[in-house]
Amino acid sequence: MTPDDEEIDWQVGPTVPGARRPALLVLADGTTFEGEAVGWAPPDGVATGEVVFNTVLSGYQEVITDPSYAGQIIAFTCPHIGNYGVTPDDDESLRPHCRGIVVRDLARRPSSWRSALDLDTFLVRHRVPGLTGVDTRRLTRHIREAGSMAAAFGTASELTLKEAALAEPGTEGVDLVASVTTERPYTVGDGPLRVVAYDFGIKRTILRHLGRMATVEVVPAGTRAAEVLARQPDGVFLSNGPGDPAAVVGAASAIAGLLGQVPVFGICLGHQLLATALGGETFKLKFGHHGGNHPVRRLETGAVEITSQNHNFAVADGSLRRADVTHVNLNDGVIEGLRCRDAPAFSVQYHPEAGPGPHDARYLFAEFARLMAASAGSGGSGASRASRASALPGGS
């Protein structure tokens, strides 16, 4: 999310759906799917990226505008997409960063009092290509068996698309954060605490949650630990973001420099980067976790949370030496949360802000507030922090 990006023109006007041209989706392994082109039309008829599937039943606009999808083509398993249109209130960033979308049936006419545009027009305005009429059930089953892979789609020939798919580098080993992070710091929120939030691809709903408890200064992904500490924050937030955590230049070393100096809370990519800073290792999942219905067990209480997730990489089990595992995915056993043993720092793999998704994990923002208040009360950064913490409900 960058403050320099141009805002979309949301002025409602008449739109006439254009004729849908036959198009193909070709995976790097040669598997081909037929459909029709929608959204923006690339001049050469080719769009490429790593194709993944998302299982949300609603919230497609939040998914499409989530910067964590940089470099990826989103295939929606829900058959009807676009039926309630789009509205500026639901954008998670100023523009989509995904490479395109694939759906079974793109609604031609949205039906909702909140709708400002139809999804097709939204895709055109943001230069996002799409494909409709695809057998997304077959596509999803194939990805589950073969794994996420590079793909190309569009109106070009099958041979051209196959060559483009083979040439697509995918997301492994690529620093995609550099393409989505803010270029300069900016401030949101008016809460009593002070938080510095690393923008690895941060979402607006996350900033709304943080802004209720703190004045939040959002900083570029490459900001050094010394620059953060010079701002004298009560806490540091590590945001979600796209791609391979091992490829994000300088992030793990910056986080290592913050540990023990200030409370830290990370989610999604921020969780993986915190684990890396603690000496852990990460790996790429076969087809990732993308959806709003992933069950996660909170080990402390045994409670099961239904969570919103969007990531292709995870923390390797057994690689953590300075942290305890706090949450586990009940589908595949992947580590979903950790807490540092020797510093006030914790993280989760999923998205507690529920944008979109269930609200089961929103308590984690309150946990972060309590951690900052406790650190301030113990003399973490002096009287100014303690006084700010006392302004919170239940603050010290």
In angstroms, the Cα distances linking 365 to 59, 186, 230, 348, 370 are 21, 21, 24, 11, 9
- Per the document, the length of the chain is 396
State how far Cα 353 lies from the chain centre: 11
* Beta-bridge mates of residue 328: 297, 335
Q: Is the dihedral of CA 383, 363, 265, 222 positive or negative?
A: negative
Give 31-34's long-range contacts (Cβ < 8 A, gap of 24+).
31/142, 31/146, 32/158, 33/102, 33/134, 33/135, 33/138, 33/139, 34/133, 34/134
Exposure string for 328-363, b = 16+ CB within 10 A, e = fewer: bbeeeebbbbbbbeebbbbbbbbbbbbbbbeebbee
In angstroms, the Cα distances linking 115 to 86, 125, 261 are 5, 16, 46
Beta carbons of 136 and 76 less than 8 angstroms apart? yes
Beta carbons of 59 and 356 less than 8 angstroms apart? yes
**Catalytic amino acids?**
268, 351, 353
111: exposed, middle or buried (Cβ count in 10 Å: 0-12, 13-18, 19+): exposed
Give Dmax over CA atoms of the chain in angstroms: 67
CA pair distance 154, 156, nearest whole angstrom: 6
Shortest CA distance to 217 belongs to which of 245, 240, 236, 243?
236
Shortest CA distance to 309 belongs to which of 326, 336, 288, 289?
289
CA pair distance 27, 163, nearest whole angstrom: 10
